A = this chain, B = another copy of it.
């Protein structure tokens, strides 16, 4: 189960447009000996997320940038394979923000136990983890959806978007998803119960299609993508609309910032709110959020979909695929068998 070599993925250099394999470097190291209080964790599932693109740059942001020559860090579910920490024992599942590697050594402060009997361990990386909480906090704390309102979600079939739409349905809203393939759109309406889904890549006139899908206008816009998709939605917002800025994936790989229609005038005319956030802004509510999400998943009220790539060596390609819209559902890498 354990050899002595540990593969790690490092940031080789900072991209200025779209990243490619040259910006990553895979190395092999010896697994260090454990010190007193430490735990050795073997990665089982690894999460690749769009926000990580931001950390490859050194522009000022909420997230500390990755350092060149240092490993990527992200959500990982792993198994304890050795422990000198009384709180953890071999065979237990944990998740935490760990290095992209086969093995991580932890002092226990950056991991938490995952109970494989409550839900599949992978859910700790999406619906019962960071993306699920992101959906929950953004929609409920910023959006404050009311029954009968219309909620539009961009990036709707992604890890966050699919949860946002389902919570909005549970709150009695009309939910319209925007995604980039017909397969994604049919997943949203047929499997998740979205009222409507729009393929922005094939819609002849996105504004017109949106107006048809949102006959009463847009009260809440949960934005994962930005750019021209968002421009079209902003033209449809109602009085006192809430625009939740969760991601801007269309903008992350631009070599220089894109110009667009100014939004301030639209916010002014409609007394609307636009708010950026990061999941950790609401960390004090994590327990409440996870409890509610767990109940919804247990009761079958929230569905999820995973897109699993096998093999640590395919991590980089899985990450780059996020920006091509390859994934339907939460993109994971299976590093080893459970």
Which residues of A approach B to under 8 Å, CB–CB? 54, 59-62, 223, 226-227, 230, 239-240, 245-248, 251, 257-278, 281
Contact assessment for A226 and B276 in the assembled complex, using a CB-CB cutoff below 8 Å: no
Contact assessment for B268 and A248 in the assembled complex, using a CB-CB cutoff below 8 Å: yes
How many copies of this chain? 2
Chain B residue numbers with a CB within 8 Å of A274 are 263-264, 267, 273-275
Q: List 16 A-B contacts (CB under 8 A).
A: A61-B269, A226-B262, A226-B264, A226-B265, A245-B264, A247-B268, A248-B262, A259-B260, A266-B276, A268-B276, A268-B278, A269-B276, A270-B276, A272-B276, A273-B273, A273-B276
Give Cα A77 to B46, complex, Å. 68
Contact of A262 among B59, B246, B260 (CB under 8 A): B260
Give Cα A240 to B278, complex, Å. 10
Is chain A's interface secondary structure helix, strand, loop, or mixed overall? mixed
Chain B residue numbers with a CB within 8 Å of A245 are 264, 267-268
Top-8 shortest CB links A-B: A267-B276, A268-B276, A61-B269, A259-B259, A260-B262, A274-B274, A273-B275, A245-B268
Chain B residue numbers with a CB within 8 Å of A272 are 275-276
Chain B residue numbers with a CB within 8 Å of A277 are 268, 271
Contact assessment for A259 and B257 in the assembled complex, using a CB-CB cutoff below 8 Å: no
Chain B residue numbers with a CB within 8 Å of A227 are 262
**A282 to B: closest C-beta gap in Å:** 10
Chain B residue numbers with a CB within 8 Å of A258 are 262
Chain B residue numbers with a CB within 8 Å of A269 are 54, 59-62, 276
**A239 to B: closest C-beta gap in Å:** 7
In the complex, which residue of chain B has the Cβ closest to the Cβ of A223? B264
Chain B residue numbers with a CB within 8 Å of A61 are 269
